[in-house]
Structure formats: C-alpha cells, structure tokens
Structure 1
Amino acid sequence: MATGFFWDEKCFWHAGGNYALTLPLGGYVQPLAAGGLPENPETKRRLKNLMEVSGLTDDLSMRHAAPASWEDMARIHPETYLTAFKDMSDAGGGELGLRTPFAKGGFEIAALSAGLAKQALADVLTGDLDNAYALSRPPGHHCLPDWPNGFCLLNNIAIAIEAARATGLAQRFAVVDWDVHHGNGTEAIFYDRDDVLTISLHQEANYPLDTGALADRGRGPGEGYNINVPLPSGVGHVGYLEAMERITLPALRRFKPDVIIIACGFDAGIFDPIARQLCTAETFRLMTRQVMQAATDLCGGKLVMVHEGGYSEAYVPFCGHAVMEELSGSTHAAPDPMADTVAKRQPNARMNAVFSELIGEMATELGL
C-alpha cells in the first residue's frame, strides 16, 4: 500500500498575529511568537517528529505540494475576500473574522495549506497513491466562503474538492468530519448540493454555538446530503465507534462516493483543553479502520485525510500516529503512554447505554 504524507515546514510558521508578539527572523527560520491561541504549531510538528523517531515515515511517501492557486481558491472564496486577505497579509497581518489571526505572509501559508490538501486528493484520485494524509495548517473546516472563523482562513477540503472536479478526477465526494467542533464552513459551502455528502460528528454546542443541529439536512437539491451528529459531552471510545457504525457508515454506503475525505481533528481526544469528549488514540485508530473498509467497499480504497484541530501537545501526536499506522499498514508503533489512564476515564456501562440510545434515535431520525 502506498500512503502519502503531505507536509511543509512553512505551515508550522503560521502565527497568531495580533494575539501574539511575533518576531520575524528574516524569512528563513520560524518566527518567534510569545502567547497566542490554542491553535499552535506544536501539535502538528510533534506528530511528524514522533513518526520520524518511531520510523513510521520510512513506510510513507513523504511529499510536498505547490500552494493552491488563486484560481483554485476563487472556486470557493469570492475575489473580494481573497483580495482583502492578501492585502492585510502583505501589510503585516491582522484578523478578518472571528478567532482567525495571522501574521505577515499568512495568505501564502494558508494557500500552501490548501495546496497540500489539493495535491493529496489529486494523487489518490489519479492512482499515484492508495491513500494520503495532509498535515494542513492553518485548518479549514470552519471557513465559510467569505468569512473565516475558528482558526480557519481558507476551506482546504472544499478547495481540494473543486480542484479535483475541475480536472475531471471525480464527481461524488463524501466528507466525514470527526473534529470535535462542527464543520460549519464545509457544511455551508455544499449545503445546496447533492454531489457532496457532508457528515459532521461533533460535541453539541461547543463551537460554533449556533450550528450543527441534527435537523440541518441540506437545502433544495442538497436536502438529505448534510448529516450532523451532535454528541453530548462525555462521549468516549465506545460511543464514537457506535456513531460511526450506525450513522456514518450507512450514510456512506447509501451515497456511494468516488472518494472519502476525512476532516481529521484530534480534539475529541480525552486531554484536549477546549473540548469535553473522551476519545483515545485507539478510538482514532479504529475509526480509521472503519472508513478504510468503507473506502475499500465503495470507491476502490480511495481515502484522504486532512488535518484539522486538536490542541493537546502531549496527546495529539499519539492519536495521529495511530491513524498513520492504520492508514499505511506500518508496523512501526508508538504505544499510547497514557493508555491505562484513558481506559480508567471512559464512560461507565450506564452512560454508554445512554449514549447508545441517543445515537439510535438520531440514526432513526436520519433514516439510517
């Protein structure tokens, strides 16, 4: 199996702009930043470092990519937005939306992040790779066409999808978003369409507070092609796997996509500082196994993962490593050092039964 891993050092250089004191160092070394937001480079960098130390990168096709072009971005984002973003970036940085700060050069880094997702999808669809992971940063799933929010400046996955469609690589795309926050940007972009299935498993009323309801199913031709799975706080390993089994997988089978794309956030992990779910590294491994089997059954194994959130610098690397082990079939392991601790903190049988009943009710309402 050929598994691609797309990354670029410059993506680690995205900085918090007006939320942090950023000192430029000539453009050849990552700028120094003091303070800032939970979205920082270390979770991503430490994941890649762990894979290098474990030897897992030896089993991957490590790749770079060109930035998304203006034409690529303009298929999703209006020219007025892109121009305002570029002008502010050139002028030293700032903030265009809610919790979306960036420093000088932020536009170019965001374009590079989207380019990693675009190339990962293209290389899987052309058969150059069996599957792929894009270590994109800044993330993308909250970004609407003309309004960035939640650390997201461009919608990486949407840009990748429309680039693939424009070049005739695929026609039907399924996006499964297991980031703990609702994928409101991706939902909004495809809400009226029946050629992109969007599924979001998220903590209810975390971020954003006013989106992600079960009743939001799409509009017009898109009716029924948007699925939200708002989970209460405290859902852990058993509940997430059940939600995948009873809602996500049946929806994928019904839709029959040409490719499955995962908005892969790790903030449903048990140690995340801005969420309240209880997933473990093993949860992410087994969810990856579930979607890999679905991809094998439905679309020739074509599966692409694009990095989104996850803010525990200690735990995200192990969650990501578990995903990459599963995705590539590598035997280079990085055992979860917190496995005993997280096992003790899982919901008890009574709470799992409550969550199971809720998931069953949602599946019934969704007709799955």
Structure 2
Amino acid sequence: MTTGFFHDERCLWHGGGNYAQMAPVGGLVQPIAGGGGLPEDPETKRRLVNLMRVTGLMSDLSERSAPMLDREDLLQVHPAAYLDAFEAASDAGGGELGLRAPFGPGGYDIARLSAGLVSGALEAVLQGALGNAYALSRPPGHHCTADWPNGFCLLANIALAVRRAQALGLCRRVAVLDWDVHHGNGTEAIFADDPEVLTVSIHQANNYPLDTGGFETRAQANLNVPLPPGCGHDSYLEAMERLALPAIRAHEPEVIVIACGLDAGAFDPLGRMLAHAGTFRAMTRQVMALAAETCDGRVVMAHEGGYSEVYVPFCTHAILEEMSGSAVRAEDPFAATLAQRQPEADFRAFVSDRIGAMAAARGLSSRTPRHALKARD
C-alpha cells in the first residue's frame, strides 16, 4: 500500500494580506512569519514537512502536488456570485467576505490549489494509484458553506473533492468523518440533503461555531458528537467505537474522507481537549481497520485546523506513520506529561455515560464503556 502526501509551498503563502498585516505582501513577497498575527498560520504545516524530512518519513510516502480546481469544479458547490466576489477581492489585494476568513492578494488561486490538493488525493485513491492519501490543504475548508466563508475557510475543500469525484463517476457513497475540535458546519450544510454522503463530526461542544453541532441535528445522513471540554484519549476512542465507526459502517461507503483537524491536541490555543499524538494514531488505526472491512482500505485525509506550532507536527506525523505502515517514528516529546494530565476516572465515566446515551438514541453500538476496559492504546 502506497500512501500519498499532497502538498504545495504556495498554500503556505496564504495569509490575511493587508487586512491583517502591516507589511505589503503578494506576488513574490511571502507573507510574514506567523501569518501576520492570525492563529491559522503556515508554520504548523511547514514544520510538519520539515519534521518528516528530518525523520525520513517523507521517503516512505509518495510526495505529490495537484492542479488548482477550475471554475466548473467550484460551481458544483459554490454559486457564481460568491466566486466572482472572491476572485475580484483577491485581484484587488484581498479582504474578507464572510466571518474570520481573511485573505490576501492571490488568495482565490491559493484556495483553488488547496481544494485541488484534496481532490487530487481523493481521485488518486479512488483510481487505485494510491492506497490512501493525506492532503496538507491550506486554507482549510470545513467551516465554509456554499456562499459563506467562515472560520479561516474560503472554499469547501472536501465537499468540492467529493462532488468532483462523483461527477467523474469515481464514487457514489462517501463517509466524511470530521475530528477537528470545531464542528464541521460547512461540510454538514452542503451535504444536508444528500443521503449518499454521511457527515460525522466529533468536536468540543459549544466551541465554534456556537449555533451548530448539536447532537439533535438531523439531516439526510449526519451525526454530531459534541464532547464536553477536557475529554482525553479514552473518551475520543470511545466516541469513535460507539458512535462514529458504527454509523460509518452502516452507511457502507466506497471511501472514507477525514477532515483532519489537530486542534483537539492538548496544547492547542483554540481547543480545550486533552488528545495527544497517540490519540490521533489510534483513531487513524480505527478508521483504517474499518476501511479495510468496508471500502478496500480507501482513506483520504484533508488537513483542517491545528494551531500549536510545536505539537501539530507530532500529531500529524503519528497519523502518517499509521497510514503508511512506516517503521519511522517521531517520538512524542510530551507523551509522559500528557499521560499524567488525562482526566480522572469519574470524569471519564461521566463522558462515557453521555456517549452511551447518544449511541442509544441513534440505535448504535452499546458495547462496554471504554473507561471500564484496560487501556490498550
């Protein structure tokens, strides 16, 4: 099995432009370090690439890029009026069309490239050229609805990739699992009336957006799993085992697409969870086992949130180790302290009861709560 890694340096040049930076940028002038004060900066991704080159993991992957999506592809999800406004603002130097999603000069084309990386990864897996793939997409996409850019997201990367793959006849039934710490409201909204695409979001309750992500939400094929702040490793794996994975299995997808946010990591400034690199490794293992059972191992990950420059690279490295089966390891330098910081047994039991209630309400697995089992990950 070959794992593809799709990335492009141009995506790391996305920034807020003069909207968020004092220095003029654009053309061949790279945005200043740290994205000009925006939490969604390029360094988490650049440091991941550097880490993989230093450890040697990159040599075990098929390193690729992909072309920008063209207007016809974008129109499968986004209305012409939005695309016209986005392109015009991008050509005029940047700005902001929605909420918390600024962009600089050339932002329209960079967003098209980011979406193209996800599409390229999905198509390569569906065509059998790769066993699975990871797209280091930036800007992210899961908060963007059809006509409202939101939360750093300018185009709906995963939705665009799925619609293009469906239009090409490469797949019909798809499961999208979002484990970003924030609710994947854009992806959910775009597929709300489509029974062929299941959307599952495991996220911190009442984080972002504040008006979406409730368990009670019902669409054609959708499941929201809001978890209380402070959940750690065991609660995430239990939510996967009792809710997300049974729902995906029942959907019988031809491919599983992950909205791979790393902001549930314990050091993230925009989340309040206690996941660690081992959590992301274990969730990846769970998904790959299910994919082997249901869809010939076809898994595609699209990078979403994650704002700790130090820790995101280790979490993503662990995911790619698991996806590729590589023997290369980047040991988590924070593993010992994060093991000590995991929630106490009574809190895990409280969360387990909530997970059990959600599983019962949706008629999903009611297996033994994870907190009652001997830890094995």
Do the two structures share a fold, i.e. TM-score over 0.5? yes
Cross-structure match for 1:32: 32
The one-letter code sitting in structure 1 at the alignment partner of 2:46 is R
* Corresponding residue for residue 237 of structure 2: 241
Distance (whole Å) between structure 1 residues aligned to residue 238 and residue 31 of structure 2? 43
Contact conserved, 2:115 with 2:155, CA < 8 A, in 1? Answer: yes
**2:134 aligned with 1:139:** no
Amino acid of the structure 2 residue aligned with 1:15: G
1:321 and 2:322 are equivalent in the alignment: no
| Cα drift, residue 25 of structure 1 | 6.5
Alignment match, 1:171: 172
Comparing 263-272 and 12-21, the one that deviates more: 12-21
| Corresponding residue for residue 75 of structure 1 | 76
- Whether the aligned pair in 2 keeps the contact of 1:93 and 1:102 (CA below 8 Å) is yes
Distance 1:174 1:252 in 2: 6
Match of residue 346, structure 2, among 327, 344, 350? 350
Query: Which aligned pairs between 1:157-196 and structure 2 lie closer than 5 A?
Result: 157-196=158-197
1:309 and 2:281 correspond: no
Change (3 A) 1:360 1:277: same
- 3-state SS of the aligned residue for 2:95? strand
User: Does structure 2 retain, via aligned residues, the 8 Å contact 1:12–1:30?
Assistant: no
- Aligned counterparts of 1:257 and 1:164: Cα–Cα separation in 2: 14
Q: Tell me by how many angstroms 1:26 deviates.
A: 4.5
The gaps in structure 2 that reach 5 residues or longer are: 365-377
* CA displacement at 1:266 relative to structure 2: 0.2
Select which of 272, 294, 297 maps to 2:293. 297
Unaligned stretches of 5+ residues in structure 1? none
Matched residues in 2 for 1:341 and 1:350: separation? 20
Instruction: Tell me the alpha carbon deviations over residues 128-180 of structure 1, each in whole angstroms, 9 at most, x when there is no partner.
Output: 00000000000000000000000000000000000000100000000000000
The answer (yes or no) to whether the contact 2:26–2:106 under 8 Å persists in 1 is no
- Partner in structure 1 of residue 98 of structure 2: 97
What is the distance in 2 between the residues matched to 1:88 and 1:66? 22
One-letter identity of the residue aligned with 1:168: G
Q: Which whole-Å deviations, capped at 9, do the CAs of 1:70-107 have from their partners, x for residues lacking one?
A: 11111000000000000000000000000000000000
Residue 270 (structure 1) aligned to one of 266, 272, 276: 266
Q: How many Å separate the matches in 1 of 2:63 and 2:340?
A: 36
Asked whether the equivalents of residues 140 and 152 of structure 1 are also in contact (C-alpha less than 8 Å), the reply is: yes
Larger deviation, residues 11-20 vs 166-175: 11-20
Identity level (%)? 62
Q: Which amino acid is the alignment partner of residue 228 of structure 1?
A: N
Q: Which aligned pairs between 1:282-293 and structure 2 lie closer than 5 A?
A: 282-293=278-289
SS of alignment partner, residue 262 of structure 2: coil
The question of whether the paired residues in 2 share the 8 Å contact of 1:139 and 1:309 is answered with yes
Cα deviation for residue 20 of structure 1 reads 2.1
Deviation at 1:30, TM superposition (A): 2.4
**CA distance in structure 2 between the partners assigned to 1:12 and 1:21 by the alignment:** 18
When normalised by structure 2's length, the TM-score is 0.95
Distance 1:49 1:131 in 2: 21
Q: Distance in 2 between matches of 1:97 and 1:31?
A: 21
